[in-house]
Amino acid sequence: MLAAGGDEFKILFETKTDQTPIQSSISVANGHLFIRTAQNLYCIGKPSDEAGGDAFVWPGASWDEATPEQMGMDANVLQKARDYALTGAGSGCVTRHGRLVIQWGDQKQRYDLKSSTKAIGVTAVGLALKDGKMKSLQDPAKKYHPSLGVPPESNAGTGWLDKITLFHLATQTAGFDKSGGYTELLFEPGTKWSYSDGGPNWLAECVTLAYGQDLNTLMFEHVFGPIGISPSDLTWRSNSYRPKQIDGVARREFGSGINANVQAMARIGYLYLRQGRWRDEQIIPASFVDMARTVPAAIKGLPGVRTETYFNASDHYGLLWWNNADATMANVPKDTYWSWGLYDSLTVVIPSLDIVAARAGKSLNKQRNSAYTSIEPFIEPIALSVKEKSQ
């Protein structure tokens, strides 16, 4: 199928592997050829020094700017996303093909991102896998943290602690209760899905012990700094639920704790959009990004705990990132994924449309649950703003 609109045209086609259709596309926008496969986005165009030796556009101290129309987007539709976001005040921005197309609010103001910290924090796991500090997500978590899960002492009597893997901690299937402190295990690892701050916080400690280094220092040296995020853009408070140190090193959280501005959020989203690469450096493995943004087969369809709040979360959750894999949002591409915290801090990545969006402020979701209906009026117009008309 050929689709065209504005300064962009796209060819959509399907291939089949073992009778499974895989949609791919070829598009041209802003003088560049983009080839999207199931796993990657490739850009072919005239290299430039500003693009870091390739055809992708990389932000320097600031993003290059373009109008929505120049990026093949309908400004009127895009503004619906901004207007909805502003019902909760705050700030936001949207980029396409690496260029800023719309922004609102104070771009320098830091917001408490709450559980969006999970998606940012899990990046440290990808770094540990790349650096060889962690061998595999299937490793027992106690390999890195011998006292994992204790306190409370009652967890030791379950016989489940030795079964918990890094994968369980990263997918909300380890079994820990909700609180970020020392919580009880609710079920055998891998048998249910239960949203938790405590599980991700154990994961943060595993990474801390694997490196023997404060995660804040580690991430600024190897992730935040290289992608242009400074301490004035992002701060990571010390642990609010457990002792401030572990083995003499500052103890951070994945459950919450990061304050950041939307520009920093967008840069993190762009790192993921570019499959963990920034200019000529592979900061985290592309394979890790693929795991983070998709639903692992091992958790898909698992029964949930507190389904009145989290519904069918196991059908659209990756490695501490939410996603639209089950098409809960019918008008949003299924490859869309995002960080999501209380007060609806969102870093949205849409690989098939080459879009990153960020938003933070006050709550859009007055029910404080994981119903996508509260964030759909923000994400859907961003996706629908891309001009593609069947020919």
Task: Look up the domain containing 232 and give its range.
Answer: 116-250
Q: Answer whether residue 229 is part of any domain.
A: yes
Instruction: Tell me the CA end-to-end span of the chain in Å, nearest whole number.
Output: 8
Q: Answer whether residue 376 is part of any domain.
A: no
Q: Answer whether residue 333 is part of any domain.
A: no
**What are the Cα distances from residue 391, in Å, to 3, 12, 143?**
6, 12, 56
pTM over 0.85: yes
Q: Answer whether residue 209 is part of any domain.
A: yes
SS3 351: helix
pLDDT of amino acid 41:
53
Q: Answer whether residue 316 is part of any domain.
A: no
Taking alpha carbons only, the member of 219, 204, 333 closest to residue 267 is 219
CB contact at 8 A, 234 and 264: yes
Paired tokens of 312: 């069918």
Per DSSP, 221 falls in state I
SS3 42: strand
State how many domains the chain has. Answer: 1
Q: Answer whether residue 19 is part of any domain.
A: no
pLDDT of amino acid 37:
57
Q: Answer whether residue 304 is part of any domain.
A: no
10-residue stretch averages of pLDDT, the chain, 391 residues long = 45 48 52 54 45 76 98 98 98 99 99 99 99 99 98 97 99 97 97 98 99 99 99 97 97 98 99 98 98 98 94 97 98 98 98 99 86 96 84 29
pLDDT of amino acid 170:
99
Q: Answer whether residue 148 is part of any domain.
A: yes
pLDDT of amino acid 16:
46
CATH number, domain of 178, equals 3.40.710.10
pLDDT single digits (tens) 302-314 = 999 999 999 999 9
CB contact at 8 A, 348 and 356: yes
32-36: strand order across its sheet:
41-44, 32-36, 20-29, 8-17, 2-5, 389-390
